């Protein structure tokens, strides 16, 4: 069961067809906007925003493939950004729940 999820995550990241520079740019923007939405911008720097955005992109891509049965390769730039943004917001919410921190 776990390997099936791992395969979906790998497939989602492989089909996130924008290249490494695009991952960094879109990830940084998505991580920054998500940190503004979630109220964590004061604790994060640009590097952490990029990491949160990239991991959020993976998470968003996984959720899109899992529940909407869509291939993220066909997404345009805006839909890719929104997917990464939603994934980053979910990631920050999970971190907040696990760490027990509030604003």
Are residues 89 and 56 in contact, defined by beta-carbon separation less than 8 angstroms?
yes
Taking the C-alpha atoms of residue 75 and residue 42, their distance in angstroms, rounded to an integer, is 31
Look up tokens 């990491």; give the residue. Answer: 51
pLDDT digits (tens, 9 = 90+) for 43-80: 777 788 888 888 888 888 888 888 887 776 666 778 88
Residue 16 DSSP SS3: coil
**Lowest-pLDDT range of 15-19, 35-39, 70-74:** 15-19
Number of domains into which the chain is organized: 1
pLDDT at residue 40 greater than cutoff 70: yes
Six-digit token string for 23: 């991952």
CA distance between the termini of the chain: 36
pLDDT digits (tens, 9 = 90+) for 26-36: 888 888 898 88
Q: What pTM was estimated for this model as a whole? A: 0.73
Check residue 41 and give its pLDDT. 72
pLDDT at residue 12 greater than cutoff 70: no
User: Whole-number mean pLDDT of the chain?
Assistant: 77
Are residues 35 and 49 in contact, defined by beta-carbon separation less than 8 angstroms?
yes
Range(s) of the domain holding residue 18: 2-99
């Amino acid at each position: 069961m776990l390997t099936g999820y791992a395969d979906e995550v790998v497939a989602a990241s492989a089909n996130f067809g924008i290249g490494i520079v695009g991952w960094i740019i879109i990830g940084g923007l998505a991580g920054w906007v998500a940190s503004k939405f979630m109220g964590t911008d004061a604790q994060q720097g640009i590097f952490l925003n990029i990491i949160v955005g990239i991991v959020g992109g993976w998470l968003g891509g996984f959720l899109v493939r899992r529940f909407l049965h869509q291939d993220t390769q066909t997404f345009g730039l805006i839909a890719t950004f929104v997917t990464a943004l939603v994934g980053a917001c979910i990631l920050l919410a999970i971190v907040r729940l696990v760490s027990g921190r509030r604003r």
